[in-house]
A = this chain, B = another copy of it.
């Protein structure tokens, strides 16, 4: 399994559709249908995004999820950490103390500070995380809408309006954010 899993891909795709949609919050089921994903899996992902303060949930017939921050203030790193937890790139086994030259008791210097191999991996992890922190949901949206024809935004809003309107007519059949 890749380090950054499909859950992050699903989260980012769905968060894109919530940009500028504060007036029409979408439930995780709406988002699953909009993006062709498993509603159960997406409900778990959105619970994590809400806990991390990336989205906020509103209750009621027209309740759902909305972005809790401006898209430029939602870094890709925040989404990765919210969905994956704080997963290290490298899990050091601290084998440095096991060198046979030391016998049964490794000297203090051999275990002092961070293992030099672990330090190399921590630098690489920092480079990766810095890159993810420097890229925001707004950056992804800019890239997507640069490819999309001008009518796409309107078509998306129509889909959402139909969905949210339809939900109202079903008298609260999907009355919570989940």
A residues apposed to B, CB below 8 Å: 1-4, 6, 8-10, 12-13, 33-37, 76, 87-93, 95-96, 98-101, 107, 109-110, 112-113, 116-117, 119-121, 123-132, 135, 139-140, 143-144, 147-149, 152, 155-156, 159
Contacts and interface: CB of A to CB of B under 8 A. Distances in A.
A109 B147 contact: yes
A1 B132 CA distance: 21
Contact of A120 (B3, B119, B132): B132
A9 B127 contact: no
Given A1-B91, A76-B120, A116-B144, 12 more contacts: A2-B3, A2-B91, A3-B3, A6-B91, A9-B93, A13-B117, A101-B152, A101-B155, A109-B149, A119-B143, A120-B139, A128-B128
